[in-house]
Structure 1
Amino acid sequence: MLVASWLDPQADIWAHLRAHLMPLLVRHTLLMVVVVGLGVTVLGVGLAWLSACCEYPGRRWLDPLLVLPLAFPTYVLAFIYLGVLDFSGPLQSTWRGWFGSSPWLLEAMSRPGGVLFILTLAFYPYVYLLARASFISGGLAAFEAGRSLGAGPFQTFLRVALPMARPAVVAGLTLALMETLADFGAVSIYGYETFTTAVYRTWFGMFNLTAAVQLASILMLFILVLLLAERYSRDQRPRQADKRPSGHRIRLRGRQAWLATGSQALVVLVAVLVPLVQLLAWAWPNLGQITGGTMPRVIGNTMLLGLVGAVTVLAGGLLMLVATHKVRRRYLVLGELAALGYAIPGTVLAVAIMLAFIRFDQALGTALAGGLLALVLAYLIRFVRVAWGPLDSVAGRIRPEYVEVARSLGVSRWYRLWRVNLPLLWPGLVTAFLLALVEVAKELPATLMLRPFGWETLAVRIYDLTVEGQWQMAALPSLVLVILGAIPVVVLIRRATLVR
């Protein structure tokens, strides 16, 4: 659908876009990739090295908290910090009262470019988690080997430990940048023009779906470049023997120890505690509305859509598992297709699915466009990778002897599936369902653009209120969504054994 849309050029719209919007979109997109990419890499790798290989006061308490930014949707972090750092917000007002003028840093954070700081805070855990796992598996042993050869600590880290972790860092960076390019809520709240906001405005502002699809296809070029770069990095990585973690952490003392503790505590403060406290402060006067007005209906819509979407995504993940398990070639092909689906931004999916459904309705006389089917299909394409990953991981650890014993007893295939396979897959099923449920609940652009008329979810309610600048009214649905988003993060912390 993206390629076919160029058969209808839309010359008038593109004349306007080329003259007034395209240079700004390209400039903002490239700036976003460079700044956020550099930020998540430095922050994620630095925190991962401290967490995996060093010992300092408070490490066991701070390690799990560094993952909690994943529970905050970017649009929630965006409106919190825009309200806190705004010219009339508490920080700038207090500073002006003390010193007479606002500092340039707070003023810059409240402008459109401040969204780059928000995206860095929201997405650094992708790099942190993968780099931390790589450092634990062999980084400390390599560091000790380099030190034994007389190299200094910093030189050993740069020339030995970091290159070994490069594939993991690049994978985490790719995920973070794909999420950055796909973001719609945070950039909309800050007024930072990107391709995702341009797609939305072209469709709902200029009422031109074809031009919106064409803009979406340009955004997909950036996504494909990222995927190709990640694949090249994966193919170029050196083959290494498996290594066990040394278990002897680098014990930091004195100033180094307190710098490590302070840096992690500062990140937790800025990325978790400040947003959470501000949400509670804004939501506290309105807590009674959670059981009154339209809030129960909005929460019910979110849960219903989340359950339907999560069950559909889980079923798609199971089908992919059956089709790919122990079949290498299909595994690679379907795996790449699933990864591409997760990489497609919600705005791109929305316009492509809507255009396809409109043509389908015109050909068959149906009325599928604008219904829940289009929205659930978008969730399936976008998040099937989220469900397939945990299922495939658990299936790879199941010993084939269990299934062979059941087959030798003469039981049917469906009985084996019900009594043997599914119980063994249960941990992966729970994790996949929770991850899919929360991803569906937090998804904003596809829900906003494909939802049936009058269908409101927590994400849509938050977006509508924040666009109007009603931060305090948006705090209550945001708090509910953050609590929901914390569930899979807690599961991730427990299953990944982040505290060791």
Structure 2
Amino acid sequence: MTVSLTVPTPSVDTGAVRRWPRPAGLPLLAGLTALAVLAPILAVAMSLFGGAQAGTWAHLASTVLPDYIVTTLWLCLGVGLGVSALGVGSAWLVTRHAFPGRATLEWALVLPLAMPAYVMAYTYTDLLQFVGPVQTALRETFGWTRADYWFPDVRSTGGAVAMFSLVLYPYVYLLARTAFLERAGGMIEVARSLGLTPWQGFLRVSLPLARPAIVGGVALALMETLADFGTVSYFGVQTFTTGIYRAWFSLGDRHAAAQLAMALLGFVMLLLLLERLSRGGRRFHETTLRRSGAARVPLHGATALLATLACLLPLAGGFLLPGGVLMHMALSEGDTQFGLRFLTLAQHSVTLALAAAVVAVALALLIGYAARLHRGRLMALAHRGAGLGYAVPGSVIAVGILIPVTQLDHLLGDLVERWSGAHPGLLLTGGVGALVYAYVVRYLTAAMQAVDDGLGRITPNMDAAARSLGHSPAQTLWRVHLPLLRGSALTAGLLVFIDVMKELPATLVMRPFNFDTLATQTYTLASDERLTEASTAALAIVVVGLLPLVLICRQVASGRGAAGH
């Protein structure tokens, strides 16, 4: 048994790896990409040193700024509590208990992610307003008049909290479910053997272990809340996002809009800091190879019925009911412009989403592969910087792009005028390219997460084998990595595609003149109180949003878990 096991080592191992030249231009391209992502954020930060129009900032500070701060804090508090209760409660029920409908509810609870919050706002307004079917049925049933009863106003801060909670709780549900399944299944059984009840085991064992996942899901939900424009604008709720839009278009002051955007960005950074501090120095590790977790507790009778209803309530409120309302409105009346106009809107939305998805996946592959080959601090910093866009609201990115792009436009126009004698007008501002740039900055993180996950599953031995065969880095990427990354790249592109289809703030601010999408059409019609006509475009957005959720639901049903992007 003295056969040498070191014979193949010289041709494959570290010596060959060290002699293989790494492309010097790859980290440079990755660094430039990270700078391009950070440029809008830096532009907004530089606005703090610019002067707003006389009296504009003072007017905002003395009138609406306190309302923006207070309302934003209440929204964050309400949504944080709402998504925590719905997400953690439903995840605990489906992972630790057996009751009728559990298997179906386990994957169906993800479906509200396909419903944009502003679409929820429109459908519930139509359902619950004074002339809507709910209040009309109450008056007809009991013979009431307007003065005989009180009904909560859905178009309020509380209504916005309810909409966001119903739409965004799947972020917490997915992460909490994975934590409950994969962490401390044996600990639960030990807790039971020590005499703890299931409720005590949940509070003292499962919940502390799942805390990092829960906090991460809540942070994602709150970032989406801060980035929203359609819901708060339609409900008349004063937030930083609506203030940015008003300062830019109503007051015509880009510096005031940028300063409001910087204040909103400060809220996001504070949220991320609190999320990081909440972890502290805690580390949670699974010390057993067992992944099946503790046995589910069977529920019977009224308890089983209550568990089923508790899981069915967020699903019905966040997907089934608004989806049914949209379907009814679209089939009964729908958009009177359905036809060529609708096809044009769909073409615009799909074209923008496809372009952004392709560019985002390509850049994610570039950055991920560069980080795989070059593991220095600068490359790690570029990788992290390129992933900051998702934490920045679309309205902030739009303002951050428009300021430097407008200045560049004026510079190019002056140069062309000197050469030709005629001013060409704005060449970049209001173009499709700038809009795709905003989408890529906003959603590159989603593509990077999927690509990095795929690269992480490719063993370094494959790189070493390719190098030993004489393949260059580009050949290794093309012949080895890309075939293995096909599924991850498709997932990344699909996630970006769906996010762009739903994106509203950046599209409203940056779209070219007379260039509408399904999202802007839905917002415009709903703002004009033409809710029935808005249903067709809104339903199309929801249907398209179901495509990636089918993949997530399959992962959930197979037990592997999924994490929202």
Establish whether TM, by shorter chain, passes 0.5: yes
Letter in 2 for 1:211: A
Corresponding residue to 1:397 among 432, 452, 457: 457
Worse-superposed segment, 310-319 or 196-205: 310-319
Change (3 A) 1:314 1:357: same
| 2:73 maps to which of 5, 30, 43 | 30
How far did 1:333 drift? Answer: 2.5
Per-residue Cα deviation, 1:440-464 (whole angstroms, up to 9, x for no partner): 1111110110011111110010011
The one-letter amino acid of 1:436's match is V
Task: Return the match for 2:355 from 291, 301, 308.
Answer: 308
Contact 1:55 1:251 in 2 (8 A): yes
**Contact 1:41/1:169 (8 A) holds in 2:** yes
Distance 1:459 1:402 in 2: 44
Which whole-Å CA distance do the structure 1 matches of 2:337 and 2:189 have between them? Answer: 55
Offset of residue 156 of structure 1: 1.9
Q: Greater helix percent: which structure?
A: 1
The match for 1:62 is 105
Amino acid at match of 2:517: T
8 Å contact 2:335–2:535 — kept in the other structure?
no
Indicate the residue corresponding to 2:242 in structure 1.
Answer: 197
SS at 2:512's partner residue?
Answer: coil
1:416 is aligned to 2:473:
no
Give the RMSD, CA atoms, in angstroms: 2.1
Tell me by how many angstroms 1:143 deviates: 2.2
Distance 1:150 1:232 in 2: 33
Find out whether 1:362 has 2:410 as its counterpart: yes
**Compared with structure 1, are the counterparts of its residues 359 and 42 closer, same or farther at alpha carbon in structure 2 (3 Å cutoff)?**
same
Call closer, same or farther: CA 1:265–1:349 in 2, change over 3 Å. Answer: same
Kindly indicate whether the alpha-carbon contact (under 8 Å) linking 1:324 and 1:330 is maintained by their aligned counterparts in 2: no
Change (3 A) 1:60 1:257: same
> What are the superposed Cα offsets for residues 395-438 of structure 1, whole Å, 9 maximum, x if unpaired?
11112333333333334443332222101001101100100111
Contact 2:387 2:448 in 1 (8 A): no
Higher relative contact order (CA 8 A, sep 6+): 2
In structure 1, what is the equivalent of residue 181 of structure 2?
Answer: 136
Q: Are residues 1:337 and 2:380 paired?
A: no
CA positional deviation for 1:290: 8.1
CA contact (8 A) 1:189 1:467 kept: yes
TM-score calculated relative to the size of structure 2 = 0.84
Q: Secondary structure at the match of 1:129?
A: helix
Distance 2:45 2:155 in 1: 38
Q: Structure 1 unaligned runs (5+)?
A: none
Write the distance in 2 (CA, Å) between the matches of 1:495 and 1:64.
Answer: 9
Aligned partner of 1:4 in structure 2 is 46
Residue 437, structure 1, aligned to residue 497, structure 2: yes
The answer to whether 1:490 aligns with 2:550 is yes
- Name the CA distance, whole Å, in 1 between partners of 2:356 and 2:478: 23
C-alpha separation in 2, matches of 1:331 and 1:241: 30
Which residue in 1 is equivalent to 2:400?
Answer: 352
Distance 1:139 1:52 in 2: 13
The alpha carbon displacement at 1:499 in A equals 5.5
SS at match of 2:458: coil
- Give the aligned partner of residue 180 of structure 1: 225
Aligned partner of residue 73 in structure 2, secondary structure: helix
**2:93, 2:160 → 1: CA distance?**
27
- How far residue 232 of structure 1 moved from its aligned partner, in angstroms, is 2.0
Q: Which residue of 1 aligns with 2:328?
A: 281
Mean Cα displacement is larger for which, 319-328 or 472-481? Answer: 319-328
SS at match of 2:44: coil
Question: Counterpart amino acid of 1:379?
Answer: Y
Partners of 1:330 and 1:260 in 2: CA distance? 51
Using a 3 Å threshold, how does the CA distance of structure 1 residues 105 and 416 change in structure 2: closer, same or farther?
farther
- Rounded to whole Å, the distance in 2 between the matches of 1:242 and 1:101 is 64
Corresponding residue of 1:18: 61
Render the CA deviation track for 1:58-83: whole Å, top value 9, x for unaligned.
01111111101110111111100011
Q: Deviations over 1:327-381 (max 9, x none)?
A: 2745652443244210100111111110111122233337211112211111111
- 1:318 counterpart = 2:368: no
Q: Give secondary structure in 2 for the equivalent of 1:325.
A: helix
Amino acid aligned to 1:348: V
**Counterpart Cα distance in 2 of 1:115 and 1:298:** 27
Q: Equivalent residues in 2 for 1:171-320 (5 A)?
A: 171-243=216-288, 244-245=290-291, 246=293, 248-286=295-333, 292-320=339-367
**Distance of aligned partners of 1:225 and 1:105 in 2 relative to their CA distance in 1, 3 Å threshold:** farther
Contact 1:85 1:91 in 2 (8 A): yes
Q: Which residue of 2 aligns with 1:116?
A: 161
Which residue in 1 is equivalent to 2:196? 151
Amino acid at match of 1:357: V
* TM-score, length of structure 1 as denominator length: 0.95
The amino acid of 2:403's aligned partner reads L
Change (3 A) 1:361 1:290: closer
User: Residue type matched to 2:323 in 1?
Assistant: L
Structure number with greater Rg is 2
Residue 107 of structure 1 and its aligned partner are, at CA, apart by 2.2
* Counterpart residue identity of residue 358, structure 1: T
Q: Where in structure 1 do 4 or more consecutive aligned residues deviate above 6 Å?
A: 102-105, 287-291
SS in 2 for 1:383: helix
User: Which digits, 9 at most, give the CA deviation of each residue in 1:443-495, with x for residues without a partner?
Assistant: 11101100111111100100110110111000001111111111111112223
- 1:184-228 CA-to-partner distances (Å, cap 9, x unmatched) read 111111111110001001111111111100111111111000111
Q: Distance in 1 between matches of 2:287 and 2:150?
A: 46
Q: Secondary structure at the match of 2:251?
A: coil
Offset of residue 239 of structure 1: 3.9
Match of 2:171 in 1: 126
